Amino acid sequence: MDDEIRSIEDNSNTNAFENQYHENQAIKESFASQPQPIVRSNPKSKFVAITSLCLVSAVIGGLTTAAALPYIYPANSTSLTQTAKSSSITPVSLATNQTNFPVAQIAKDIGPAVVGVSNFQSSQGFFGNSDLQEAGSGSGFIIDAQKGYIATNNHVIDGAQKITVSLSDGRNLVAKVIGADPRTDLAVLQISDTKNLTAVKLGDSSKLEVGESVVAIGNPGGNEFARSVTTGVVSALNRTLAIQGEASFDLIQTDAAINPGNSGGPLVDYQGQVIGINSAKYAQSGFEGMGFSIPISDALPTIQQLISTGVAKHPALLVSTDDQYISYAQTNNKPLGAYISNVTPNGPAAKAGITKGDVITKINNVQVQNSTDLVHELYKYNVGTKITITYIRNGQTNQVQATLGEISSNQ
Protein backbone atom coordinates (compact mmCIF):
# COMPACT_ATOMS: atom_id res chain seq x y z
CA MET A 1 0.00 0.00 0.00
CA ASP A 2 1.24 3.50 -0.64
CA ASP A 3 2.20 5.96 2.04
CA GLU A 4 -1.01 7.93 1.61
CA ILE A 5 -3.15 4.96 2.49
CA ARG A 6 -0.79 4.28 5.35
CA SER A 7 -1.30 7.88 6.51
CA ILE A 8 -4.82 6.98 7.24
CA GLU A 9 -3.82 3.85 7.86
CA ASP A 10 -0.27 2.80 7.96
CA ASN A 11 0.32 -0.77 6.78
CA SER A 12 -1.51 -3.92 5.67
CA ASN A 13 -1.96 -7.14 7.61
CA THR A 14 -3.15 -9.82 5.22
CA ASN A 15 -3.03 -12.70 7.72
CA ALA A 16 -5.38 -10.93 10.13
CA PHE A 17 -7.93 -10.50 7.39
CA GLU A 18 -7.64 -14.10 6.17
CA ASN A 19 -8.05 -15.58 9.64
CA GLN A 20 -11.19 -13.60 10.39
CA TYR A 21 -13.04 -14.05 7.12
CA HIS A 22 -11.97 -17.44 5.89
CA GLU A 23 -10.15 -19.58 8.40
CA ASN A 24 -8.69 -22.13 6.04
CA GLN A 25 -8.90 -20.38 2.68
CA ALA A 26 -6.18 -18.00 1.45
CA ILE A 27 -7.11 -15.03 -0.59
CA LYS A 28 -6.31 -16.04 -4.14
CA GLU A 29 -6.09 -12.66 -5.67
CA SER A 30 -3.64 -10.16 -4.16
CA PHE A 31 -4.00 -6.43 -4.44
CA ALA A 32 -0.69 -6.25 -6.28
CA SER A 33 -1.91 -8.52 -9.04
CA GLN A 34 -5.02 -6.54 -9.85
CA PRO A 35 -5.00 -4.46 -13.04
CA GLN A 36 -3.34 -1.10 -12.61
CA PRO A 37 -4.42 0.92 -15.65
CA ILE A 38 -3.28 4.14 -14.06
CA VAL A 39 0.44 4.29 -13.48
CA ARG A 40 2.88 6.90 -12.32
CA SER A 41 6.15 8.00 -13.79
CA ASN A 42 9.15 6.18 -12.38
CA PRO A 43 11.61 8.73 -10.95
CA LYS A 44 14.46 6.26 -11.42
CA SER A 45 14.20 6.19 -15.20
CA LYS A 46 15.07 9.32 -17.09
CA PHE A 47 12.58 8.85 -19.86
CA VAL A 48 9.84 6.46 -18.91
CA ALA A 49 7.51 4.67 -21.36
CA ILE A 50 3.94 5.90 -21.71
CA THR A 51 2.74 2.82 -19.87
CA SER A 52 3.82 4.32 -16.56
CA LEU A 53 1.53 6.73 -14.79
CA CYS A 54 3.86 9.61 -14.80
CA LEU A 55 2.97 11.95 -12.13
CA VAL A 56 3.56 14.60 -14.69
CA SER A 57 3.95 18.21 -15.23
CA ALA A 58 2.42 19.95 -18.15
CA VAL A 59 3.76 20.31 -21.63
CA ILE A 60 2.29 22.67 -24.08
CA GLY A 61 2.99 22.14 -27.74
CA GLY A 62 3.47 24.95 -30.11
CA LEU A 63 1.85 28.24 -30.84
CA THR A 64 -1.71 27.28 -31.56
CA THR A 65 -4.52 29.66 -32.34
CA ALA A 66 -7.40 30.01 -29.95
CA ALA A 67 -9.71 28.62 -32.60
CA ALA A 68 -8.11 25.16 -32.40
CA LEU A 69 -8.26 24.60 -28.66
CA PRO A 70 -11.78 23.54 -27.47
CA TYR A 71 -13.02 20.14 -28.59
CA ILE A 72 -15.15 17.27 -27.37
CA TYR A 73 -13.50 14.51 -25.32
CA PRO A 74 -13.83 10.79 -26.33
CA ALA A 75 -17.31 9.35 -25.90
CA ASN A 76 -16.32 6.85 -23.20
CA SER A 77 -15.39 9.59 -20.71
CA THR A 78 -17.41 12.24 -18.96
CA SER A 79 -19.42 14.35 -21.41
CA LEU A 80 -17.75 17.69 -21.98
CA THR A 81 -19.10 21.08 -22.91
CA GLN A 82 -17.34 23.57 -25.16
CA THR A 83 -17.29 26.82 -23.25
CA ALA A 84 -15.76 29.05 -25.91
CA LYS A 85 -16.75 29.68 -29.51
CA SER A 86 -14.04 28.53 -31.85
CA SER A 87 -14.42 31.61 -34.01
CA SER A 88 -14.29 34.36 -31.39
CA ILE A 89 -12.06 33.88 -28.34
CA THR A 90 -10.98 37.23 -26.98
CA PRO A 91 -7.26 37.26 -26.17
CA VAL A 92 -6.58 37.60 -22.47
CA SER A 93 -4.56 40.60 -21.45
CA LEU A 94 -1.40 39.10 -19.93
CA ALA A 95 1.08 41.79 -20.89
CA THR A 96 1.18 45.27 -22.34
CA ASN A 97 2.15 43.94 -25.79
CA GLN A 98 -0.95 41.86 -26.40
CA THR A 99 -1.04 39.51 -29.38
CA ASN A 100 -3.89 37.67 -31.07
CA PHE A 101 -2.46 34.39 -29.80
CA PRO A 102 -3.26 33.87 -26.11
CA VAL A 103 -1.24 30.62 -25.92
CA ALA A 104 1.82 32.37 -27.31
CA GLN A 105 1.49 35.13 -24.73
CA ILE A 106 1.01 32.59 -21.92
CA ALA A 107 4.14 30.76 -23.06
CA LYS A 108 6.13 34.01 -22.99
CA ASP A 109 4.84 34.99 -19.55
CA ILE A 110 4.80 31.62 -17.76
CA GLY A 111 7.61 29.80 -19.58
CA PRO A 112 10.46 31.56 -17.72
CA ALA A 113 8.91 30.48 -14.39
CA VAL A 114 8.93 26.79 -15.35
CA VAL A 115 12.05 24.86 -14.34
CA GLY A 116 13.54 21.44 -14.91
CA VAL A 117 14.19 19.35 -11.80
CA SER A 118 16.87 16.62 -11.84
CA ASN A 119 17.05 13.90 -9.18
CA PHE A 120 20.56 12.56 -8.49
CA GLN A 121 21.16 9.36 -6.54
CA SER A 122 24.11 7.11 -5.77
CA SER A 123 25.02 4.61 -8.46
CA GLN A 124 27.65 1.89 -8.50
CA GLY A 125 30.37 2.88 -10.95
CA PHE A 126 32.15 0.65 -13.48
CA PHE A 127 35.18 0.25 -11.22
CA GLY A 128 33.13 -0.33 -8.10
CA ASN A 129 33.18 3.26 -6.94
CA SER A 130 29.94 4.98 -6.00
CA ASP A 131 28.99 8.32 -7.51
CA LEU A 132 25.89 10.39 -8.10
CA GLN A 133 23.94 9.80 -11.31
CA GLU A 134 20.76 11.39 -12.58
CA ALA A 135 18.04 8.91 -11.61
CA GLY A 136 15.13 10.87 -13.03
CA SER A 137 13.83 14.28 -13.97
CA GLY A 138 10.66 16.30 -13.78
CA SER A 139 9.41 19.85 -13.73
CA GLY A 140 8.49 22.58 -11.30
CA PHE A 141 7.50 26.24 -11.24
CA ILE A 142 8.67 29.27 -9.27
CA ILE A 143 6.07 30.49 -6.78
CA ASP A 144 8.22 33.11 -4.99
CA ALA A 145 10.90 34.86 -7.05
CA GLN A 146 12.39 36.79 -4.13
CA LYS A 147 12.92 33.74 -1.93
CA GLY A 148 13.52 31.24 -4.73
CA TYR A 149 10.70 28.85 -3.80
CA ILE A 150 9.73 26.22 -6.36
CA ALA A 151 6.69 23.92 -6.26
CA THR A 152 6.87 20.39 -7.68
CA ASN A 153 5.71 16.82 -7.04
CA ASN A 154 7.16 14.78 -4.21
CA HIS A 155 7.72 11.81 -6.52
CA VAL A 156 9.99 13.97 -8.70
CA ILE A 157 12.50 14.45 -5.86
CA ASP A 158 11.84 11.27 -3.88
CA GLY A 159 15.06 9.56 -2.79
CA ALA A 160 17.29 12.31 -4.16
CA GLN A 161 20.72 12.86 -2.66
CA LYS A 162 21.22 15.93 -4.80
CA ILE A 163 18.72 18.06 -6.70
CA THR A 164 19.50 20.51 -9.47
CA VAL A 165 17.19 23.02 -11.10
CA SER A 166 17.58 24.25 -14.69
CA LEU A 167 16.28 27.75 -15.44
CA SER A 168 15.11 29.25 -18.70
CA ASP A 169 18.20 31.49 -18.88
CA GLY A 170 20.50 28.45 -18.93
CA ARG A 171 21.53 28.44 -15.28
CA ASN A 172 21.77 25.09 -13.50
CA LEU A 173 21.55 25.49 -9.73
CA VAL A 174 21.64 23.15 -6.76
CA ALA A 175 18.33 23.21 -4.86
CA LYS A 176 17.51 22.23 -1.31
CA VAL A 177 14.27 20.62 -0.14
CA ILE A 178 12.26 22.94 2.08
CA GLY A 179 9.60 20.29 2.66
CA ALA A 180 8.13 17.21 0.98
CA ASP A 181 4.87 15.37 1.62
CA PRO A 182 4.27 11.91 0.09
CA ARG A 183 0.67 11.96 1.32
CA THR A 184 -0.21 14.76 -1.09
CA ASP A 185 2.66 14.23 -3.56
CA LEU A 186 3.77 17.83 -3.08
CA ALA A 187 7.21 19.31 -2.44
CA VAL A 188 8.81 22.75 -2.17
CA LEU A 189 12.40 23.44 -3.24
CA GLN A 190 14.53 26.54 -2.85
CA ILE A 191 17.42 27.98 -4.85
CA SER A 192 19.76 30.58 -3.38
CA ASP A 193 20.51 32.52 -6.57
CA THR A 194 17.33 34.55 -7.08
CA LYS A 195 18.68 36.94 -9.69
CA ASN A 196 16.17 37.69 -12.49
CA LEU A 197 13.68 35.02 -11.42
CA THR A 198 10.09 35.06 -12.67
CA ALA A 199 7.23 33.70 -10.55
CA VAL A 200 3.88 32.40 -11.74
CA LYS A 201 0.52 33.87 -10.81
CA LEU A 202 -1.73 31.46 -8.89
CA GLY A 203 -5.38 31.19 -9.83
CA ASP A 204 -8.53 29.76 -8.23
CA SER A 205 -9.07 26.17 -9.35
CA SER A 206 -12.44 26.02 -7.58
CA LYS A 207 -13.89 28.18 -10.36
CA LEU A 208 -12.86 25.89 -13.22
CA GLU A 209 -15.49 24.62 -15.62
CA VAL A 210 -15.51 21.55 -17.82
CA GLY A 211 -14.57 22.57 -21.37
CA GLU A 212 -12.44 25.51 -20.26
CA SER A 213 -9.24 25.92 -22.30
CA VAL A 214 -5.96 25.24 -20.52
CA VAL A 215 -2.24 25.24 -21.27
CA ALA A 216 0.45 22.94 -19.89
CA ILE A 217 4.18 23.72 -19.76
CA GLY A 218 6.93 21.34 -18.70
CA ASN A 219 9.97 19.25 -19.53
CA PRO A 220 8.86 15.94 -21.11
CA GLY A 221 11.88 13.68 -21.29
CA GLY A 222 14.15 16.12 -19.53
CA ASN A 223 15.94 19.32 -20.48
CA GLU A 224 16.19 18.37 -24.14
CA PHE A 225 12.52 19.30 -24.48
CA ALA A 226 12.44 21.95 -21.75
CA ARG A 227 9.39 24.21 -21.45
CA SER A 228 7.36 22.36 -24.07
CA VAL A 229 3.90 23.84 -24.49
CA THR A 230 0.67 21.90 -25.09
CA THR A 231 -2.96 22.92 -25.09
CA GLY A 232 -6.30 21.33 -24.31
CA VAL A 233 -9.40 21.68 -22.20
CA VAL A 234 -10.60 20.72 -18.76
CA SER A 235 -12.04 17.32 -19.63
CA ALA A 236 -13.62 16.68 -16.23
CA LEU A 237 -13.44 17.71 -12.59
CA ASN A 238 -13.43 15.80 -9.29
CA ARG A 239 -11.62 12.74 -10.58
CA THR A 240 -10.11 10.26 -8.11
CA LEU A 241 -7.00 8.12 -8.66
CA ALA A 242 -5.97 5.21 -6.45
CA ILE A 243 -2.32 6.22 -6.20
CA GLN A 244 -0.24 7.71 -3.44
CA GLY A 245 -0.71 11.44 -2.99
CA GLU A 246 -3.26 11.95 -5.73
CA ALA A 247 -5.82 9.93 -3.74
CA SER A 248 -6.02 12.92 -1.40
CA PHE A 249 -7.52 15.25 -4.02
CA ASP A 250 -10.42 15.72 -6.41
CA LEU A 251 -8.26 15.96 -9.52
CA ILE A 252 -8.59 17.98 -12.72
CA GLN A 253 -8.71 15.82 -15.84
CA THR A 254 -7.29 17.39 -19.00
CA ASP A 255 -6.52 16.33 -22.56
CA ALA A 256 -3.52 18.67 -22.82
CA ALA A 257 -0.64 16.38 -23.78
CA ILE A 258 1.54 15.41 -20.84
CA ASN A 259 4.38 12.90 -20.75
CA PRO A 260 6.98 11.47 -18.36
CA GLY A 261 9.15 14.33 -17.16
CA ASN A 262 6.25 16.79 -16.99
CA SER A 263 5.45 15.91 -13.38
CA GLY A 264 5.39 18.99 -11.19
CA GLY A 265 4.78 21.48 -13.99
CA PRO A 266 1.88 23.95 -14.15
CA LEU A 267 -1.54 23.70 -15.75
CA VAL A 268 -2.50 27.26 -16.71
CA ASP A 269 -5.83 28.86 -17.59
CA TYR A 270 -6.37 31.51 -20.26
CA GLN A 271 -5.89 34.25 -17.70
CA GLY A 272 -2.27 33.12 -17.45
CA GLN A 273 -2.80 31.79 -13.92
CA VAL A 274 -1.69 28.40 -12.59
CA ILE A 275 -4.74 26.33 -11.68
CA GLY A 276 -3.15 22.88 -11.36
CA ILE A 277 0.02 20.83 -10.89
CA ASN A 278 0.30 18.15 -13.56
CA SER A 279 0.94 14.88 -11.80
CA ALA A 280 -0.37 11.80 -13.61
CA LYS A 281 -1.75 10.39 -16.84
CA TYR A 282 -3.89 7.42 -17.82
CA ALA A 283 -1.55 5.16 -19.73
CA GLN A 284 -3.63 2.11 -20.62
CA SER A 285 -3.24 0.96 -24.21
CA GLY A 286 -5.79 2.58 -26.50
CA PHE A 287 -6.35 5.64 -24.31
CA GLU A 288 -5.08 9.09 -25.19
CA GLY A 289 -5.46 12.55 -23.73
CA MET A 290 -6.20 11.64 -20.12
CA GLY A 291 -3.92 13.64 -17.84
CA PHE A 292 -4.57 14.62 -14.24
CA SER A 293 -3.58 17.66 -12.21
CA ILE A 294 -3.75 18.52 -8.52
CA PRO A 295 -5.97 21.63 -8.15
CA ILE A 296 -3.80 24.52 -7.01
CA SER A 297 -6.39 25.79 -4.51
CA ASP A 298 -6.36 22.41 -2.78
CA ALA A 299 -2.57 22.10 -2.94
CA LEU A 300 -1.82 25.59 -1.58
CA PRO A 301 -2.50 24.88 2.12
CA THR A 302 0.00 22.00 2.06
CA ILE A 303 2.54 24.08 0.12
CA GLN A 304 2.20 26.87 2.69
CA GLN A 305 2.70 24.41 5.55
CA LEU A 306 5.84 23.03 3.90
CA ILE A 307 7.26 26.54 3.50
CA SER A 308 6.39 27.57 7.06
CA THR A 309 7.41 24.45 9.00
CA GLY A 310 8.97 21.98 6.59
CA VAL A 311 6.21 19.44 7.25
CA ALA A 312 2.54 19.06 6.39
CA LYS A 313 -0.10 17.87 8.85
CA HIS A 314 -3.16 15.87 7.86
CA PRO A 315 -6.29 14.44 9.50
CA ALA A 316 -6.13 10.74 10.33
CA LEU A 317 -7.95 7.91 12.06
CA LEU A 318 -4.59 6.19 12.71
CA VAL A 319 -5.55 2.77 11.39
CA SER A 320 -4.08 0.41 8.81
CA THR A 321 -6.13 -0.94 5.93
CA ASP A 322 -5.92 -3.93 3.61
CA ASP A 323 -7.49 -3.80 0.15
CA GLN A 324 -7.07 -7.54 -0.37
CA TYR A 325 -10.45 -7.59 1.31
CA ILE A 326 -11.97 -6.25 -1.90
CA SER A 327 -11.34 -9.50 -3.79
CA TYR A 328 -12.71 -11.51 -0.89
CA ALA A 329 -15.82 -9.33 -0.64
CA GLN A 330 -16.55 -9.54 -4.37
CA THR A 331 -16.08 -13.32 -4.41
CA ASN A 332 -18.22 -13.92 -1.33
CA ASN A 333 -20.88 -11.27 -1.90
CA LYS A 334 -19.79 -9.18 1.09
CA PRO A 335 -20.22 -5.40 1.40
CA LEU A 336 -17.35 -3.35 -0.02
CA GLY A 337 -15.43 -1.05 2.26
CA ALA A 338 -12.08 -0.23 3.85
CA TYR A 339 -10.98 -3.29 5.83
CA ILE A 340 -9.22 -2.36 9.08
CA SER A 341 -6.16 -4.55 9.60
CA ASN A 342 -4.69 -2.65 12.54
CA VAL A 343 -5.66 0.13 14.94
CA THR A 344 -3.19 2.43 16.69
CA PRO A 345 -3.74 2.25 20.47
CA ASN A 346 -5.30 5.42 21.88
CA GLY A 347 -5.74 6.81 18.38
CA PRO A 348 -8.97 8.41 17.13
CA ALA A 349 -10.37 5.14 15.73
CA ALA A 350 -9.43 3.17 18.82
CA LYS A 351 -11.08 5.73 21.10
CA ALA A 352 -14.23 5.51 18.96
CA GLY A 353 -14.35 1.72 19.35
CA ILE A 354 -13.14 0.71 15.88
CA THR A 355 -11.22 -2.58 16.03
CA LYS A 356 -9.21 -4.83 13.76
CA GLY A 357 -11.50 -6.66 11.33
CA ASP A 358 -14.10 -3.89 11.04
CA VAL A 359 -15.03 -2.72 7.53
CA ILE A 360 -15.67 1.01 7.20
CA THR A 361 -18.39 1.65 4.62
CA LYS A 362 -19.25 5.33 5.11
CA ILE A 363 -17.77 8.59 6.38
CA ASN A 364 -20.54 11.11 7.18
CA ASN A 365 -22.95 9.18 4.93
CA VAL A 366 -20.55 9.24 1.95
CA GLN A 367 -19.92 5.73 0.61
CA VAL A 368 -16.46 4.22 1.16
CA GLN A 369 -15.61 1.17 -0.96
CA ASN A 370 -11.85 0.86 -0.44
CA SER A 371 -8.82 2.43 1.21
CA THR A 372 -8.55 5.13 -1.46
CA ASP A 373 -12.10 6.27 -0.75
CA LEU A 374 -11.32 6.40 2.96
CA VAL A 375 -8.25 8.59 2.40
CA HIS A 376 -10.13 10.80 -0.02
CA GLU A 377 -13.00 11.43 2.37
CA LEU A 378 -10.88 12.01 5.48
CA TYR A 379 -8.73 14.62 3.72
CA LYS A 380 -11.80 16.77 3.17
CA TYR A 381 -11.76 17.59 6.88
CA ASN A 382 -9.45 19.30 9.34
CA VAL A 383 -7.63 17.85 12.30
CA GLY A 384 -10.01 17.87 15.26
CA THR A 385 -13.19 17.54 13.17
CA LYS A 386 -15.80 15.12 14.51
CA ILE A 387 -17.05 12.65 11.90
CA THR A 388 -19.57 9.79 11.82
CA ILE A 389 -18.19 6.39 10.81
CA THR A 390 -20.42 3.60 9.51
CA TYR A 391 -18.82 0.18 9.72
CA ILE A 392 -19.65 -3.52 9.60
CA ARG A 393 -18.64 -5.96 12.33
CA ASN A 394 -19.70 -9.61 12.29
CA GLY A 395 -22.30 -8.86 9.65
CA GLN A 396 -23.90 -6.05 11.67
CA THR A 397 -23.88 -2.38 10.62
CA ASN A 398 -22.87 0.09 13.32
CA GLN A 399 -22.19 3.82 13.64
CA VAL A 400 -19.78 5.70 15.89
CA GLN A 401 -18.41 9.22 16.09
CA ALA A 402 -14.68 9.91 16.02
CA THR A 403 -12.58 13.06 16.33
CA LEU A 404 -9.89 13.14 13.67
CA GLY A 405 -6.32 13.06 14.88
CA GLU A 406 -3.15 14.24 13.19
CA ILE A 407 -0.38 12.70 11.16
CA SER A 408 2.49 14.62 9.57
CA SER A 409 4.54 14.20 6.42
CA ASN A 410 7.63 13.15 8.37
CA GLN A 411 5.86 10.27 10.14
Where in the sequence numbering do the catalytic residues fall? 155, 185, 263
- DSSP secondary-structure letter at 271? T
Region for residue 365 given its phi and psi (left: phi exceeds 0; alpha: psi -120 to 50; beta: otherwise): left
Does residue 273 contact residue 28 with C-beta atoms inside 8 Å?
Answer: no
Instruction: For residue 346, count CB atoms less than 10 angstroms from its CB and return exposed for 0-12, middle for 13-18, buried for 19 or more.
Output: exposed
Does residue 216 contact residue 259 with C-beta atoms inside 8 Å?
Answer: no
Cα 171 to chain centroid, rounded: 28
Q: How far apart are CA 134 and CA 120, in angstroms?
A: 4
Rounded to 5°, angle at Cα 8 from 266 and 381? 65
- Helix (H) / strand (E) containing 140: strand 130-144
Least Cα distance to 138 among 166, 170, 178 occurs for 166
Does residue 178 contact residue 138 with C-beta atoms inside 8 Å?
Answer: no
